[in-house]
Chain A
Amino acid sequence: MSLGFIERIIGPRVSPEEAWKRSLRYGTPGFLLLFARILLLVSLFLPYWHMELQAPQYPSGLHMTAYLNHLTGDVVEIDGLNHYIGMRSLYEAAQIEREVGVFIMILFVVLLELAAYIHSRWAVLLVAPVIFFPVVFLVDLQLWMRHFGLNLDPDAPLSNSIKPFVPTALGRGGIGQFVTIATPGIGLYLATAASIVLVAALYFHRRAYLPLVRQQAAANERST
């Protein structure tokens, strides 16, 4: 019985001869899943998000870049400025996310690896979290910014002139004499590209294996 359950999850198998004969049909989902894995692995090393602050006294601007696991750029300087309005240090934001970011990404790669072997609808369950990852990233970012922007220290030097505000995760904003410009990084673009590739992978997955699943189901029905 349990063997049947696992079989149901991993779905119908395709003989090597059949897979070789119809390589396009059976190879495409696996190839796309592999491509998505590569995109995600590469994105680990690339920036996910940029914030530029422009002000007259910073002719070349201040720049901050978020990777999945760390922040770079003028973070100390931005933190230094933020203390005037009572904003907490950016290093305190999304600490857990940054700590687990790499492991999540490795988990995603494992999930996609597994998904390549599962020829049933259960594959969707493995791929879906990866597809939604860029959206989750941006939502999480926006929540943190909202949390930081709304919880300013009321005793900060400029608390009278700068009221709590919600910075935007993407696009232009402004605070004091600063114009802020938040843009996605190439890593986030790659993760988004991976999402699109994964949707396509699911489509081809369905096209390749749904008929087999149905055949198998029909065969099962006949045998019972």
Chain B
Amino acid sequence: MKHAPIPIRTVAATAVAAVGLLAGHAAAQSMADVQKAAQARGLSTADLLAAAKTYTPSGMKDEFVIFSSGGHSGQVHVIGVPSMRLIRTIAVFTPEPWQGWGYGVGNDVLAQGNVAGKPNLWGDTHHPALSETKGDYDGEWLFINDKINARVAVIDLRDFETKQILKNPLTVSNHGLCVTPDTEYVIESSQYGVPLGWEYATMDQYKEKHRGSVIFWKFDRKKGRVIPEESFAMELPPYWQDLVDAGKLASDGFVFINSLNTEMATGGVQDKKPPFEAGVSRNATDFLHIIDWRKAEAVFRAGGAKEQSGFPVISIETSIAEGLLHLTPEPRSPHGVDIAPKGDFIVVSGKLDPHVTVYSFEKVKRAIANKTYSGSDEYGIPILDFDAVVEARVEVGLGPLHTQFGNDGYAYTSLFLDSAVARWTLGGEYGKGTPEPDWTLVHKTPVQYNVGHIGAVHGDTVNPLGRYLISFNKWSVDRFLHPGPLLAQNFQLIDISGQGANMPVIYDMPIGFGEPHYAQIIRADILKPWSIYPEIGWDPHKQQIDPMAPKKGMERVTRDGSTVEVWMSVVRSQFNPDHVKVKQGDTVIWRMTNIERAVDAVHGFAVPAYNIAVSLEPGETVTIEFIADTPGVFPFYCSEFCSALHLEMMGYLMVEPN
């Protein structure tokens, strides 16, 4: 496809229009001013066009929202598109003082994530999964995994707060996370093979004792919680299960997990054995796991699972006998397994193979029905014949990692080694949307540099919206100022609204908080967050009124033996009471309510020496408990600039020595 050069006049006019929105009634500005400013900064026509597409003047709101994994930060980051402005960080696995997370609020939720009874106060968040209804994002809940300690968090998108953390009782580290099309289950796949249930086994016993697993966490939308008692797991071979995606529409009821290290390499480089990187990559193919989860659910409900570490697990033998699990070869060491919007194709990118491999679910079903096996693996799991299930192989470039879908028949695959994003055409019913022939590479847009995941707007749902794709790049090298040797990573916004080779990078956003992995992009108007809590005295953890919440006129300090209870109201610009006297060693139960109803009237409650920092959003009530073991006079204060008299919003905690 040929593109006419874009006349500078049009570009400048667009830029003027954009600038005009900001300036409002500012003095008359002309195209000449735009050209002058552009020349002074060395901006090209393409730059000005990109600016016009992304520049978001004060007060203009973003059309889309990214929920990005926060990598090492253990958090989730919320970013607007196309402005690429960070709107909010949601504290998840890591304490975060601004939100008070772990310093007075959320301590119980964080404690749910204790590992072997010990707090592990960071996370490695990889794959967010927005809740879905009929296979599309509904904007109500967000789930995210923590790879390092195999945990899953549940975030309520009414208040963008973490409500539950689940510790995987079987395995040590996880990787994939997805939801079923109506969020019946949150599916967590394990990563590295270990003996299930925290047993000990030597590396010689890898094949016998180590296992992979997948947990189906039952989500109760009404309660807003995963119900562990209704959840179950499946035992898998000790391959390193990786990403997971649930089937939808045509493939509803199935889930697909890819894997690496089907070689079952155990390393041992110090003993002159091949290091993991070589051992794990020896075979030309690994195994795509195909699981019939509805059948598995029925087996679990019929009592077909065995207890392991107090958790119901369907054994490999049962899976084979009941026909729950099939394998099929996939290009080695794959990352993404991504289901096309209609659920009919399964796209696997093997990062050491230049192709994406596309499987037809129709053929998978037929092969299962006809038992078209090419054999079975060491554990007896039937392997579907590759040629019987494959639909197409598209050569896209080096290091294909992860695929997203557009709205018009294009698929996009990240190329780690090529440092590019490939646009290629799907076949089947999608083929008519694109001018190019089916199953062909159309274009590669270079990205800076080394992309991991990519995310398109609703790009993994039944209803992809196109428009924008973001390349979540691992390296930025020369893109930003160097803040010392630890460099920011780079989120690059790509305009995919055009066809063919028209998919330019239009914005770079530095990410200086850890290495994000996957991120999902949702239409902003689907989200229905609260601006204030619904009523005064709201307990965000229970999402209901706390009958014990102090209200205006109920302020008091009471003592019962060595327990002191404080009932405090918080409003601009005072704490009431503002004197709290206790004796050293007293147990202090401090209840406080922000009785404000104004949007943005947030107060903090920060106490020195006691490691307390609480955020009280309008209406919120919080109860903290501590032992007043350090005597002294402690000025506590509001840590949000809440009003002109914010500095005066303070009080004294007086701990009388024994």
A76, B597: Cβ atoms closer than 8 Å: yes
- Say whether B598 contacts A77, CB under 8 Å: yes
Contact A157 B572, CB 8 Å, known A77-B597, A80-B596, A80-B598: no
Q: Which chain A residues border B598 with CB–CB below 8 Å?
A: 74, 77, 80
- In the assembled complex, the Cα of A80 lies from the Cα of B598 at a distance in Å of 10
Enumerate chain B residues within 8 angstroms of A84, measured Cβ to Cβ.
Answer: 573, 643-645
Which residues of B have CB within 8 Å of A157?
Answer: 573, 645, 648
The minimal Cβ–Cβ distance linking A131 to chain B, given in whole angstroms, is: 40
Enumerate B549-603 residues with CB–CB distance to A below 8 Å: 571-573, 596-598
The 4 closest A-B pairs by CB, nearest first: A77-B598, A157-B645, A76-B597, A80-B572
Q: How far is the CB of A165 from chain B (nearest CB, A)?
A: 19
Within the complex, the shortest CB–CB distance from B440 to chain A, in Å, comes to: 51
- Nearest opposing residue in chain B for A80, CB measure: B572
B571 lies within 8 A of A80 (CB): yes
By DSSP majority rule, is chain A's interface helix, strand, loop, or mixed? helix
The interface residues of chain A lying within 8 Å CB-to-CB of B571 are 80
Across-interface contacts of A74 in B (CB, < 8 A): 597-598
How many Å lie between the Cα of A80 and that of B571 in the bound state? 8
B600 nearest CB across to chain A (Å)? 8
Assuming A74-B598, A76-B597, A84-B644, what are 10 further A-B pairs, CB within 8 angstroms?
A74-B597, A77-B597, A77-B598, A80-B571, A80-B572, A80-B596, A80-B598, A84-B573, A84-B643, A157-B645
Residues of A close to B644: CB separation below 8 A: 84
For the residues of B in contact with A, the DSSP-based class is loop
Closest B residue by C-beta to A58: B598
In the complex formed, the residue of B with least CB distance to A84 is B645
Instruction: Report the minimal beta-carbon distance from A72 to chain B, rounded to whole angstroms.
Output: 13
A-B contact pairs, 11 of them (CB 8 A): A74-B597, A74-B598, A77-B597, A77-B598, A80-B572, A80-B596, A80-B598, A84-B643, A84-B644, A157-B573, A157-B648
Question: What residues of B have a CB within 8 angstroms of the CB of A77 in the complex?
Answer: 597-598
In Å, the complex CA distance between A84 and B571 comes to 12
- How many A residues have CB within 8 A of the partner chain? 6
A25 to B615, CA, bound (A): 72
| Complex alpha-carbon distance, A157 and B643, angstroms | 12
Instruction: List residues of chain B with CB under 8 Å of any chain A CB.
Output: 571-573, 596-598, 643-645, 648
State in angstroms the CA–CA spacing of A80 and B596 once bound together.
Answer: 9
Q: Which residue of A lies closest to B571 (CB)?
A: A80
CA distance A74 to B597 in the complex (A): 9
Min Cβ gap A84→B in Å is 7
For B596, what are the chain A residues with a Cβ–Cβ distance below 8 Å? 80
Interface 0/1 of A80-98, CB less than 8 Å to B: 1000100000000000000
Cα distance A80–B642 in the bound complex, in angstroms: 12
B531 vs chain A, min Cβ distance (A): 12
Question: Which residues, 56 to 78 on A, are CB-close (under 8 Å) to B?
Answer: 74, 76-77
- Interfacial chain A residues near B645, Cβ < 8 Å: 84, 157
Contacts of B597 in A (CB 8 A): 74, 76-77
- State A76–B536 Cα separation when bound (angstroms): 12
Residue of B nearest to A81 (CB): B572
Nearest neighbor of B597 in chain A, beta-carbon distance: A76
Chain A proximity of B341: nearest CB distance (Å): 40
Q: How many whole Å from A159's CB to the nearest CB in chain B?
A: 12
Complex CA distance for A125 and B173, rounded to whole angstroms: 89
In the complex, what distance in Å separates the CA atom of A80 from the CA atom of B648? Answer: 16
- Within the assembled complex, what's the spacing in Å between the Cα atoms of A77 and B597? 7
For residue B572, which residues in chain A have a CB less than 8 angstroms away from its CB? 80
Whose C-beta in chain B lies nearest to the C-beta of A60?
A: B599
A76 to B598, CA, bound (A): 9
In the bound assembly, the distance between CA atoms of A18 and B572 in angstroms comes to: 71
State the CA gap A76–B618 with chains docked (Å). 13
Residue-by-residue, is A171-197 near B (CB-CB < 8 Å gives 1, otherwise 0)?
000000000000000000000000000
Residue of A nearest to B644 (CB): A84
Task: Give Cα A148–Cα B597 distance, bound, in whole angstroms.
Answer: 23
A77 to B598, CA, bound (A): 7
A176 to chain B, nearest CB (A): 10
Q: Give the complex CA separation of A80 and B644 in angstroms.
A: 13
Closest partner residue, chain A, to B596 (CB atom): A80
Q: Counting chain B CB atoms within 10 Å of each CB, which of A74, A77, A80 scores highest?
A: A80
Interface residues of A in 38-71 (CB under 8 A from B): none
The CA of A157 and the CA of B597, in the complex, are separated in Å by 21
Q: How far is the CB of B123 from chain A (nearest CB, A)?
A: 36
B264 → chain A closest CB, angstroms: 62
> 1/0 per residue A132-159: CB within 8 Å of B?
0000000000000000000000000100
